[in-house]
Amino acid sequence: MLTEEEKKEIQEEIKQYPYPAVACIDALKIVQNHRGWVSDESVRDIAQLLSISNEEVDSVATFYSRIYRKPVGRNVILICDSVSCMILGYESLYNYISKKIGVSFGGTTSDGRFTLLPISCLGDCDNAPVMMINNDHFNRLTIEKIDELLDRYK
């Protein structure tokens, strides 16, 4: 069941479009914003609200990299693995973080604190290497900065 708040936010998005199905991506993002990820049940609820099939919603949900169809941790670490960050050594950052929190790309820590994912170019290549934690952007990263940075996210 979508909450009243989620429904209200989705209806608000629908208003700017010629028909409800256009709000599909917005709806997925709204649900994910409230719940961290998009479950099968949420896919069905969104489909019903937008008057389209479950499959249509799922085809959209599974296409976009930033829609999570599996539960993620409380904090999502996104390390840029694109070429400029590769040249400036993202791999050593990844190795350090991966070892520190004990999961590889795609993994979530057992306490649910972190999920570690790669992301393609974050558009800040002159300040490589770069990563995001949740909606926060960090650049010119060094291993020395990582411990303090991760400590901020509980």
Partner 1 sequence: MERPLTKHIKPGSVSLNMKDYIQLGGYGNLQKALKNIAPAEVTALVKASNLLGRGGAGFPTGVKWSLIPMDGDKSTPKYLVCNADEMEPGTFKDRYLLEGNPHQLIEGMIISAYAIQAGKAYIFLRWAYKKAEKILREAIADAYKSGYLGKNILGSGFNLDLYVHSSAGRYMCGEETALLNSLEGKRAMPRTKPPFPAISGLFGRPTVVNNVETLSWISHIVEHGAEWFKGLSLTPTGGTKLFGVSGRVKNPGTWELPLGISMRELLEEHAGGMTPGHKFRGALPGGASTDFLIEDHLDVKLDFSTVAAAGSRLGTGTMIVLDDKTCPVAFIHNVEKFFALESCGWCTPCREGLPWVEKMLASIEEGTGKMEYLDLLNFNAKFMGPGNTFCAHAPGAAEPLQSGLKYFHDDFVKHITDKKCPWR
Contact 101, 114 (CB under 8 A): yes
Q: Which of 10, 28, 79, 141 binds partner 1 (CB under 8 A)?
A: 28
User: Does 105 interact with partner 1 (rule: CB under 8 A)?
Assistant: no
Vertex 14: Cα angle to 8 and 17 (nearest 5): 160
Alpha-helical runs (H) found in 1-65: 4-14, 24-35, 40-50, 54-63
Q: Which of 54, 98, 109, 127 binds partner 1 (CB under 8 A)?
A: 127
Residue with smaller CB distance to partner 1, 18 or 111: 18
Other beta carbons within 10 angstroms of residue 5's beta carbon come to 10
Q: Which of 111, 126, 144, 151 binds partner 1 (CB under 8 A)?
A: 126
Q: Site residues (CB under 8 A) for partner 1?
A: 16-18, 21-26, 28-29, 59-60, 63-67, 81-84, 86-88, 119-128, 132, 135-137
